């Protein structure tokens, strides 16, 4: 009896501690991610003074890394802060999802935030292209050809995102440096006001990212002329890349991701059994996507 009472108290205490921990995590995730976004924007502005989206872009990026004073540091800082921002956004979204916090959001607000999260990954994708390596070139080519498959507006859409020949990097550059960050800040404007990082979060994020940028080298990009039998896109695109090996590009590259996004964005509008079905479908989809990514990368 005493044992039972003791274990119950222990369980209650553990639950309390866990709830406190997760509440704190829920509070700090958006603050830290916004701190990473600020560092990413600032380092991006610095890099823009030396980056040229024309000519031999790969060589330009190599020169920034090896020749320009502190270029390696700003590149690493920009890369790391961008990745950290995206990962923290993903965790923040997952946190909201598991706590069903979207129920408190209006459909319009949730839609804006979801679109913002998607934009954040599109910014990472354009950044991946702008490295100028073989992987970036192929990623851009695949994106352009996928967009071309959109019924009726495909050709126009692909022309609006990626150019050809010597202008290949120019439009992704415009999107990466201008349109997408502006769009992101606009979509997250309320969130930014609510979750503007305090000095503590800002200091922690800056310290961690500075140490990371000084200590950890970036993954090396393949030069554009390199010969390779296997190449992978950015980490968040691996699942799509695996799907593209087995299904038609229209389904694997456009319809399935669009369906997933549409289901996710419509969460606050669903209720009852439909809400449960949507939740389980999204969870299963995310699980399958993770498995596909691991399969492509390791096997």
Partner 1 sequence: MDRRGFFKKLRWFFYALFGAVLALPALSFVTYRKKRTRTVVFTVSEQTDHYFKQGVFLIREGEAFSALSAKCTHLGCTVRFDQHKKQFVCPCHQSVYDAVGKRVAGPARDDLQVLPVTLRENRDIEVVVEV
Per CB under 8 A, residues contacting partner 1 are 138, 141-142, 144-146, 155-156, 159-160, 163-165, 227-231, 241, 244-249, 253
Q: How far is the CB of 295 from partner 1 (least distance, A)?
A: 13
**Nearest approach, Cβ of residue 290 and partner 1 (Å):** 20
Would you say 60 or 241 has its CB closer to partner 1?
A: 241
**Residue 66 or 228: which CB sits closer to partner 1?**
228
Helix axes 154-161, 134-148, angle to 10 degrees: 150
Residue 228 or 271 having the CB closest to partner 1: 228
- CA angle 18/24/27 to nearest 5° reads 140
Instruction: Compute φ and ψ for 220, nearest 5 degrees.
Output: -80, 135
Q: From the CB of 229, what's the least distance to partner 1, in Å?
A: 6
In the complex with partner 1, the residue whose CB is nearer, 157 or 204, is 157
Tokens representing 243 are 């799907």
Question: In terms of CB distance, is 39 or 254 closer to partner 1?
Answer: 254
What is the closest distance, in whole angstroms, from the C-beta atom of residue 59 to partner 1 in the complex? 17
Nearer to partner 1, 250 or 278 (CB): 250
CB of 157 to partner 1, least distance (A): 8
Give the nearest distance from C-beta 239 to partner 1 in angstroms. 13
What does the H/E/C string look like for the chain?
A: CHHHHHHHHHHHHHHHHHHHHHHHHHHHHHHHHHHHHHHHHHHHHHHHCCCCCCCCHHHHHHHHHHCCCCHHHHHHHHHHHHHHHHHHHHHHHHHHHHCCHHHHCCHHHHHHHHHHHHHHHHHHHHHHHCCCCHHHHHHHHHHHHHHHCCCCCHHHHHHHHCCCHHHCCHHHHHHHHHHHHHHHHHHCHHHHHHHCCCHHHHHHHHHHHHHHHHHCCCCCCCCCCCCCCCCCCCHHHHHHHHHHHHCCHHHHHHHHHHHHHHHHHCHHHCCHHHHHHHHHHHHHHHHHHHHHHHHHHHC
Least separation in angstroms between residue 134's CB and partner 1 is 8
Nearer to partner 1 by C-beta: 157 or 278?
157
Nearer to partner 1, 24 or 164 (CB): 164
How far apart are the C-alpha atoms of 70 and 50, rounded to whole Å? 12
Least distance to partner 1 from the beta carbon of 230, Å? 6
């Amino acid at each position: 009896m005493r044992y039972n009472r003791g274990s119950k108290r222990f369980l209650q205490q553990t639950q309390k501690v866990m709830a406190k921990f997760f509440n704190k995590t829920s509070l700090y995730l958006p603050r830290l991610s916004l701190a990473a976004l600020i560092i990413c924007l600032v380092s991006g502005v610095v890099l823009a003074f030396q980056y040229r989206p024309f000519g031999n872009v790969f060589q330009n990026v190599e020169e920034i890394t090896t020749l320009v004073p502190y270029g390696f540091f700003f590149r690493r800082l920009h890369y790391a802060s961008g990745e950290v921002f995206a990962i923290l956004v993903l965790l923040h979204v997952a946190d909201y999802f598991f706590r069903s916090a979207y129920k408190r959001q209006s459909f319009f607000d949730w839609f804006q935030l979801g679109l913002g999260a998607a934009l954040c990954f599109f910014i990472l994708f354009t950044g991946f292209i702008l490295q100028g390596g073989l992987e970036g070139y192929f990623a851009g080519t695949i994106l352009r050809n996928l967009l071309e498959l959109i019924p009726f507006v495909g050709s126009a859409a692909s022309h609006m995102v990626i150019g050809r020949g010597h202008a290949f990097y120019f439009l992704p550059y415009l999107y990466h440096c201008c349109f997408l960050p502006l769009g992101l800040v606009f979509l997250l404007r309320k969130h930014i006001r609510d979750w503007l990082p305090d000095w503590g979060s800002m200091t922690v994020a800056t310290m961690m990212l500075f140490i990371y940028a000084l200590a950890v080298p970036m993954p090396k990009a393949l030069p554009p002329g390199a010969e390779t039998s296997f190449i992978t896109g950015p980490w968040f695109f691996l699942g799509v890349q695996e799907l593209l090996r087995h299904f038609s590009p229209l389904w694997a590259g456009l319809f399935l991701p669009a369906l997933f996004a549409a289901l996710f964005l419509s969460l606050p509008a669903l209720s009852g059994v439909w809400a449960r079905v949507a939740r389980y479908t999204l969870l299963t989809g995310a699980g399958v996507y993770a498995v596909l990514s691991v399969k492509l990368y390791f096997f």
